[in-house]
């Protein structure tokens, strides 16, 4: 599926602008990670863009989050690889554990995107361009900061042989490359 078609599909299901920005952030981080490892950039980016497609429809029924998304994506003809990654980003509901690289990456990318947004918002300039690795690492170690951003999930990227420092650097560069769309 081409990006434009994926975007149309996504915006049919999601209306909240912050949620759409979150999807764009995950898309670009997944793309940068795929490039880093020589994986399929288009496929990884699609998994990032579409992973929360059912979010608004399942918000009162979180045990469906990931399941319904997989169904929507199956009907739309997305690849099995993308569909499994979407299921595995919420293993508590789908019982699909992240196993393949695209799945493990998405599982760690989901919280890191929110974490970096939270870092930008507490920075005096509120700009992605003003952040650096040491700022991110300091906030990472502050347990009370952005509690919703699961540190264990972010650190699980190490199972793919990437250090937390490298992961945060790649994720930050990725998001900086989309700063206009992200409005930060
Ligand atoms: Fe997400």
CATH of the domain at 22: 1.10.3210
Domains contained in the chain, number:
1
Q: What spacing in Å lies between the alpha carbon of 158 and ligand 1's midpoint? A: 20
Mean pLDDT computed over every residue of the chain: 96
Chain segment 102-114, per-residue pLDDT in tens: 999 999 999 999 9
46, 44, 50: which is closest to 68 by C-alpha? 50
Q: What spacing in Å lies between the alpha carbon of 83 and ligand 1's midpoint? A: 14
82, 71, 89, 66: which is closest to 3 by C-alpha? 82
Tally Cβ neighbours within 10 Å of residue 131: 20
Own/partner pairs for 59-68, CB < 8 Å, 24+ apart?
62/93, 63/93, 64/93, 65/90, 65/93, 66/90, 66/93, 66/94, 66/96, 67/93, 67/94
Q: Which domain holds residue 65?
A: 3-182
Q: What spacing in Å lies between the alpha carbon of 53 and ligand 1's midpoint? A: 9
Entry pTM: 0.95
Q: What is the pLDDT of residue 85?
A: 97
Q: Hey, what are 64's tokens?
A: 């469906």
Angle between helices 133-141 and 164-176 (to 10 degrees): 120
Q: What spacing in Å lies between the alpha carbon of 3 and ligand 1's midpoint? A: 18
Q: What spacing in Å lies between the alpha carbon of 182 and ligand 1's midpoint? A: 15
Q: What spacing in Å lies between the alpha carbon of 107 and ligand 1's midpoint? A: 9
Question: Of residues 77 and 148, which shows the higher confidence score?
Answer: 77
Q: What is the pLDDT of residue 77?
A: 96
């Amino acid at each position: 599926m081409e990006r434009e078609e994926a975007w149309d599909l996504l915006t049919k299901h999601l209306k909240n602008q912050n949620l759409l920005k979150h999807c764009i952030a995950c898309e670009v981080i997944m793309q940068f990670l795929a490039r880093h490892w020589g994986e399929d950039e288009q496929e990884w980016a699609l998994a990032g863009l579409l992973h929360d497609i059912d979010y608004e429809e399942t918000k009162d029924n979180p045990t469906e989050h990931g399941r319904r998304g997989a169904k929507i994506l199956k009907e739309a003809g997305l690849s099995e690889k993308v569909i499994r990654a979407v299921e595995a980003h919420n293993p508590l509901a789908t019982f699909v554990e992240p196993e393949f690289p695209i799945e493990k990456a998405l599982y760690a990318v989901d919280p890191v995107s929110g974490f970096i947004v939270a870092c930008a918002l507490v920075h005096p300039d509120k700009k992605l361009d003003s952040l650096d690795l040491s700022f991110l690492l300091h906030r990472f170690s502050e347990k009370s900061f952005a509690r919703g951003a699961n540190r264990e999930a972010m650190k699980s990227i190490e199972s793919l042989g990437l250090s937390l420092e490298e992961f945060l650097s790649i994720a930050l560069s990725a998001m900086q490359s989309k700063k206009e769309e992200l409005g930060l």
